[in-house]
Structure 1
Amino acid sequence: MGLEIGDLADIVRKYPEVYVYLETAKNETFFEGLQSVHGGEEFAKAFQSFLKRFGIRCPGEIDITQPRWAEKPTLLISAILSHIRSVEEGEHRQNFAEGVVESQQFAEELIAKVRKTPFGSMKAKIASRLIYAFRNLMGMREHPKYSLIQHITLYRKHILQEAERLVKQDILVEAEDIYYFPELKDLLQGKITSVQDLVQQRKDQFALDEKRTSPRVMTSEGEIVETAAENALAPEGALIGTPVSSGQIEGYARVVLKPEEAELHEGEILIAPFTDPGWTPLFQSARGLVMEVGGMMTHGAVVAREYGIPAVVGIDQATTKIRDGQYIRVDGTNGFVEIIEAEKYE
């Protein structure tokens, strides 16, 4: 998916008119408008092919209320434009090819070291098999999630069809208001009165709940567990987290709360609350990754290792402690982040 985002960006590079159009494109007229600009038809064809494969995805995709890329193609524009600003033409494919070679070389070196140990020949065969299985079957862990997203998208489509019917009957003001009713069956059967008043009450409560900060750990009894992060290798004042992708990198921080609003530039480090597959297009542009939540096998960690960028996760309030434009150092080997300089830009 990330590679194909890079391919789309490389098409846009060839056509300045398409780039300008994408900066102000609207979902309602997205593909129609492309037909009127030079190069738009080529980009539209490639983009529609991309959406045919990945259009069911989006940020926060397990949330049925979130619009899919196929519904709102402009959600991907920031990722495409960020790629153009931060990655050279064809660089994403070159980096991927180099990564394949490097990983194969590392596997061979590892097997050679194992072979030199006692019973090395037998252990080398086992290691070789495990490496092969891991590299080729790791992607299968995504299949159940992908199937789930397919079903969620289907459910979303039919729920919105029912919602449009309720809008025409003046029961709902907007189709999306239907998501404020967990008692969906009763709503569709007309068993709920004062629907619009109830929607407003729930919207107000939702707005209040959005301001709350969830604790990292809570027991089944409701007890909040707080522990101070410690790391003997971290310098004084550093933000301590969990190392999930090795390496050290320095660069300017770019805090992103919503991927569709991201404006990554060359050399910037992505600071995010979390990531899921809907964030993947941004990884091509980032030099490093810092997240508030996550672990060794969460999405951001796995993709960071795939792209070869240092990453530290599990830093509480990283998106507020680190500000846009601060020059930082991310140590993905030892698990900490240093703020080196104040903001480059306000």
Structure 2
Amino acid sequence: MKEAEWLVQDGVIHEKEDIYYLTLEELREVVKTNKLDYDIIVKQKEKHKLNEKLTPPRVMTSDGEIIIGKYKRENLPEGAIAGLAVSSGVIEGRARVISNMEDAVLESGDILVTSFTDPSWTPLFVSIKGLVTEIGGLMTHGAVIAREYGLPAVVGVENATKLIKDGQRIRVNGTEGYIEIL
């Protein structure tokens, strides 16, 4: 980042974060020559914006094979959204659909609905009372932390962030593995 500050001061890049759009080899060359074709950064930023709009598959093997399928479930309440039960309990509350942890505004008792969680999301678990994720299994981050905190959780819920609207009242059944929109 110190190199980035110098490159900004020299007018080679516009902002420090521009270096994130360069490969290590490109960055070395820029630092060495103090020159850059700024189109490289513009193109990488455009590519990054396109990649942000992609939705990762729910299941992918280590070989890159995408596995698709439906849950074979019977006796679900009408209109229920099926997923994988990973932390038992049933809870009702306001759904908070969050795509970026940095944008999270949660009140005590909200139910977090998101694509996935990783360790950076852990502080949010203190105030929520349930979890729904689009991606995940029994040993994924959200599932493990939900069990540790005793929060009902359902993961692997395809299109959860599209089917559940921010602010809706929902019921999460972490014992049976489904969500109901109330």
Same fold judged by TM-score > 0.5? Answer: yes
Question: Using a 3 Å threshold, how does the CA distance of structure 1 residues 284 and 222 change in structure 2: closer, same or farther?
Answer: closer
Would you say 1:170 and 2:11 are equivalent positions?
yes
Higher share of residues assigned strand: 2
Structure with greater contact order relative to length (CA < 8 Å, sep ≥ 6):
2
* Superposition deviation, residue 233 in structure 1: 4.3
1:275-323 per-residue CA deviation (whole Å, 9 max, x = no partner) reads 1222112111111111111111221111111111100111122111101
Q: Distance in 1 between matches of 2:58 and 2:33?
A: 40
Gapped runs of 5+ residues in structure 2? none
Query: After superposition, where does 1:266-277 map in structure 2 within 5 Å?
Result: 266-277=108-119
- Which has the larger Rg? 1
Would you say 1:258 and 2:96 are equivalent positions?
no
How many equivalent residue pairs? Answer: 180
* Superposition deviation, residue 220 in structure 1: 7.5
Q: Which moved more, 1:275-284 or 1:170-179?
A: 275-284
Q: Distance in 2 between matches of 1:274 and 1:219?
A: 17
Q: Distance in 1 between matches of 2:44 and 2:85?
A: 39
Q: Which residue of 2 aligns with 1:188?
A: 31
* Superposition deviation, residue 222 in structure 1: 6.4
2:159 to 300, 317, 325: 317
* Superposition deviation, residue 169 in structure 1: 1.6
Q: Distance in 2 between matches of 1:255 and 1:302?
A: 20
Q: Distance in 1 between matches of 2:175 and 2:61?
A: 30
Q: Which residue of 2 aligns with 1:179?
A: 20
Q: Distance in 2 between matches of 1:199 and 1:314?
A: 35
Q: Which runs of 4+ in 1 moved over 3 A?
A: 217-225
Q: Distance in 2 between matches of 1:295 and 1:276?
A: 13
- The TM-score with structure 2 as length reference comes to 0.88
> Identity over aligned residues, as a percent?
53
Q: Distance in 2 between matches of 1:301 and 1:221?
A: 24
The alignment's C-alpha RMSD in Å is 2.1
Q: Distance in 1 between matches of 2:67 and 2:136?
A: 17
Gapped runs of 5+ residues in structure 1? 1-159, 341-346
- The TM-score with structure 1 as length reference comes to 0.48
Higher share of residues assigned helix: 1
